[in-house]
Amino acid sequence: MQISKSGLVAILLAVSASVAAGLSTGSVWTVIERFVVTLVFGGLGLFMAESSGIKGALSLKARNAGTVLRDMFLFGVAPGVALGLVNDRFFFGYRYSPFVLPRIRNIDSVGDAFLLSLEIGLAEEVIYRLFFLSCILYTAKYAFQRWQASAHSTIPASIAVVVSTLIFAFAHRSPLSLTAVFLAGIVLGLIYLFKGVESSIAAHFVANFIFFSASYL
């Protein structure tokens, strides 16, 4: 049985997230959980992204390696650096808050920061951007499909970015970082919408790595 391109991409994302989780925690259960969650949300998310017409989705169109790497740097790494520095500037004093996960508070090496940043960046972008944003965009487009005027063309995308970001922000369950997470989610949502999940993953990874390294090492 031949596996579709979307299926291969979902498997690649799931393997990457589970390997990072395994190296970070050493827990077999965490590896399995991360693989299954990322595979399911990634597979469904890629399908919904294609159905929603998100141009940057990995499964929609072939882009040469140079273009992908350029977009990942300009729209992934560069915004990620800015987000990481902003987080460090405003939330350094709260780095040991009980709202912060013990795995994050206990970071004590560059390797830990790298693996945890990669695991979180992959998993959260797959869940909140690739899946939730794509599903909400598809639903909003369907609801607004009878509105043909160009003035309404940005409404579904705006709804998808804001609602998926609210889900992302409240999932972090920390009142101390709610505003920062919301603003970061808006940025990541826009990156995903226009430049694809690989660029939003890069931005999320870099932002976390800078923040974790500066705050805990």
- From residue 123, how far is each of 65, 128, 205 by CA, in Å? 23, 9, 10
What pLDDT score was predicted for residue 151?
47
pTM across the whole model? 0.91
pLDDT at 10: 86
Question: Hey, CA dihedral for 30, 36, 42, 44, is it positive or negative?
Answer: negative
Neighbour tally for 14: CB within 10 Å: 23
Q: Which residue has the tokens 């498997």?
A: 11
For residue 197, give the nearest of 135, 117, 122 by alpha carbon. Answer: 122
Task: Evaluate whether 42 touches 28 at the Cβ level (below 8 Å).
Answer: no
Mean pLDDT by 10 residues, the chain (217 residues): 71 91 87 93 90 66 69 89 87 78 88 93 94 94 69 80 94 76 93 90 95 89
